[in-house]
Amino acid sequence: MSRVVELLRELVSFPTHHAATAAAAGDELALCRHLAPLLAAAGADEVEVVACPRASGHPGGYVFARWGTPRTVVNAHVDTVPANSGWSHDPWTPTVADGRLAGLGSADTKGAIAAAIVALDQQRPRDVGLLFSGDEERGTAAVRAFLASAAA
């Protein structure tokens, strides 16, 4: 199995969904903390994990990695919508069949995050930041917190 598929399976296994109550919501911050050492291993000059509350009140956050002095920042969100009743299997247990990986968030946008991290195996960026932020599906608290930070 390819490195990007292996990594995507890891990322999907983190429930990061929104819910009506904080107790029922997933944990974006856990995924951000999981991504931080991967970004550091890819040679980032600095990696920062920041907690900020989601609209539901549940802890959310972002992870920001920079190479040099970013002139470009690429952002992908770590949160997902809640699983609906149409799932034929556990949405946080990724399955691979017929060359496709199925799991909540695999296409929007945990797949993009996995691809970006694996691309770092081949190319080290210069003057670029990678921002993996939460709360995109409801409220954008993580992006607003990042924009208010010194890193922005």
Q: From CA 109, how far away is CA 104, in angstroms rounded?
A: 10
Cβ neighbours, 10 Å, residue 125: 20
* Catalytic entry in 10, 48, 136, 137: 136
Q: How far apart are the first and last CA of the chain?
A: 36
For residue 36, give the nearest of 62, 70, 7 by alpha carbon: 62
Told to judge if 6 belongs to the known catalytic residues of this protein, a careful annotator would answer no
Q: Which residue type, as a one-letter code, is found at position 151?
A: A
Measured in residues, the chain has a length of 152
Catalytic residue ranges: 136
